[in-house]
Structure 1
Amino acid sequence: MTRIRLIAALVMAPAAIAAILLLPTAWLVTLAAVVFLLGLWEWFDLADIDETLAKTVLLLAHLALMVALVWASRSGSGFSFALFELATLVGVIWWLLALVWLGRYGFASDHTTYARVFKLAAGALAIIPAWCALGWLHASDASASVVAWIPKGHFWLLTALMMVWAADSGAYFVGRRFGRHKLSPRISPNKTVEGLIGGLVAGVAMALAVSLVAGADRSQLPAIALVAAVATLFSVAGDLFESLLKRHAGVKDSGTLIPGHGGVLDRLDGVLAALPAFALGKGLMGF
């Protein structure tokens, strides 16, 4: 399983990095919409939506909302990201509220109608704002980065994503080696406080390193470190929330689409929470 997992990662990571750095924003957000909607399809399963027709209608409704956001942001003077920024703010607020949900394990844990409604609403509030934050980050700065032919905004999105990937790896290895104190044993028994600290350090370090390639000034590094630390903690909340949904559903993975990695949502959980936090922090801090 470890070998399959490694091979899948070696295929996915370069493809994702190439797409982020080389594709225009319009093409990237289109590709990201496909990936995010695949994750949303798996979310429907965790929300106990079994009927294919119902899931298809719900998926099309979310796609229509994405298209509406793009259409409403166009004007004769160009493209405005104001609605994307607003959606990003909504996403940050949602993940702060999700912390309350995480503290109440039994909330919406059964299969009644109200539980499905809450979990479907949570899915929309996770997927749409993260997609908007992705587009906003990618288009945030068209000036040249250290790599002159790649805009800074492309590297800022890569910074956010590599931060999450590094945090995941740091938490895994530090947790395995030094983990003693459980972080949330009922939701995710393998996560530890030591792993959280290791992931936080790794995530911030990666964000600082990649931000320098994006063209950040040294004077901006403290602000970047602060935003990266907050966004990394948000990614942990996203990871725990998906684990909560899987516990409620009685499954180990959200799907089987990615060999050795489970489902698409299993790879997106931390990203969904971290992207809005990083994009909003970047906008507020002005780097």
Structure 2
Amino acid sequence: MPGRIGDIGPRAVSALVMAPVAVFAVWLGGLWTAAVIALVCVLLASEWSRMSAPSAWRGILAAVAVALLAAVAATHAFGLSEGLIALVAGAGLAALFAWRLGRSRTDAAYGVLYIGWPAVLFLWLRDGASAEGFYWVTLTFAVTWSADIAAFLTGSLLRGPKLWPRFSPNKTWSGFLGGLAAGTLAGALMTALPEQGTDSVVIGALLGLAGGAAAMAGDLWESALKRRFGVKDAGDIIPGHGGLLDRVDGLMFAIVVIAAGRFLIELGQVG
């Protein structure tokens, strides 16, 4: 337990630096948000290429980054459908480039989709500079961060049976349940904002529950990926606390789930 509790310091410092920057960029909206997402995609592409193809990471980085930037640009300029088309096409081209380099086509293509899918949906959630778009993204932040913090603290204090010891020996069922509870509460509380996507506390709680579960699933999935590639951390961009992918893995999954929730809500309103 002392080792786990000792991780609070680096986590707190990284949160104090990253959270205000993320919220400010989202608040600005439009081109500013797209530019920040593009920068994050390049950084994540660098970490992915170093993990998946360390002996040829520069070539894989170029292929994955170009595909991601094209998808972000298409989403910002035209919309979600065009962004997804660019993303799928970019994944195919990255796979072809990796094949020419003698590297795994699957890893290159998956890297584009793994990073790009939530990036494109993030821009769709933000919806330019609309107040409702700001709500959807801040909801995603609130649910993800609440679930992550509560899961860490609850798991560190209560311990108990392991959640998935094969890939993540430190995570426990107590932490998972604590994260679910915090995510659900965050989703419900966010419906009190004046500019919200839903004013139903029940729907907000369900979004928080689903988003919190997705955030913790994303954390576990990245642990499995790191185990597959034989690395401890995705990178070293955050001193003493690993890479950027280590900090946004849960957020990436939560974005997808909450975007699906927004789509279903708006589909119901249209119907």
* Structure-2-length-normalised TM-score: 0.81
| 1:235 shift after superposition | 1.7
Q: Specify the alignment match of 1:20 in structure 2.
A: 26
Mapped pair 1:220 → 2:200: yes
Task: Assess, with a 3 A threshold, how the Cα gap between structure 1 residues 140 and 194 changes in structure 2: closer, same or farther.
Answer: farther
How many angstroms apart in 2 are the aligned matches of 1:284 and 1:221? 16
Q: 14, 18, 32: which one pairs with 1:8?
A: 14
Could you say what secondary structure the match of 1:257 adopts?
Answer: coil
- Equivalent residue for 1:255? 235
Match of residue 69, structure 2, among 53, 63, 84 = 63
Which residue in the other structure is 1:159 paired with? 139
What is the Cα deviation at residue 63 of structure 1? 1.9
Alignment of 1:46-57 (within 5 A): 46-57=51-62
Taking structure 1 as reference, are residues 127 and 246 closer, same or farther at Cα in structure 2, changes over 3 Å only?
A: same
Q: What residue in structure 1 maps to residue 148 of structure 2?
A: 168
Runs of 4+ in 1 over 4 A off after TM superposition: 84-88
Letter paired with 1:124: V
User: CA RMSD of the aligned region, Å?
Assistant: 2.7
Q: Output aligned runs, 1:84-103, within 5 Å.
A: 84=83
Contact 1:46–1:245 (Cα < 8 Å) also in 2? no
Aligned to 1:276: 256
Alignment-derived partner of residue 223 in structure 2: 243
3-state secondary structure, aligned to 2:191: helix
Matching residue's letter, 1:66: V
- Of stretches 163-172 and 34-43 in structure 1, the one that deviates more from structure 2 is 34-43
State the distance in 1 between where 2:80 and 2:255 align: 15
The residue type equivalent to 1:211 in the other structure is T
User: CA contact under 8 A between 1:163 and 1:232: conserved in structure 2?
Assistant: yes
Secondary structure of the structure 2 residue equivalent to 1:189: strand
* Equivalent-residue separation in structure 1 for 2:15 and 2:162 (angstroms): 27
More helix by share: 2
Amino acid at match of 1:38: L
Answer yes or no: is the 8 Å Cα contact 2:67–2:112 preserved in 1.
no
What TM-score do you get using the length of structure 1 for normalisation? 0.76
- Residue in structure 2 matched with residue 118 of structure 1 by the alignment: 106
Distance 1:156 1:233 in 2: 17
Instruction: Quote how far apart the aligned CAs of 1:248 are.
Output: 1.9
Q: Secondary structure at the match of 1:213?
A: coil
1:33 equivalent to 2:33? Answer no
Partner SS, residue 252 of structure 1? coil
Letter in 2 for 1:33: A
Amino acid at match of 2:125: L
Distance 1:86 1:184, change over 3 A: farther
More relative contact order in 1 or in 2 (CA 8 Å, sep 6+)? Answer: 1
Unmatched 5+ residue regions in structure 1?
Answer: 74-79, 91-112, 143-150
1:5-24 deviations in whole A, cap 9, x for unaligned? 43332222222222222x12
For 1:263, give the aligned amino acid. G
Partner of 1:200: 180
Structure 2 distance, partners of 1:126, 1:52, is 17
Tell me, yes or no, if the aligned pair for 2:187 and 2:209 is still in contact at 8 Å: no
Alignment of 1:119-134 (within 5 A): 119-134=107-122
Aligned residue type for 2:62: V
Q: 1:219 offset after TM fit, Å?
A: 5.2
Assess if the C-alpha contact under 8 Å between 1:137 and 1:156 holds in 2. yes
Inter-CA distance 234–119: structure 2 relative to 1 (3 Å threshold): farther
Unmatched segments (≥5 aa) in structure 2: 1-6, 89-101
- Quickly say closer, same or farther: Cα 1:69–1:6, change in 2 above 3 A: closer
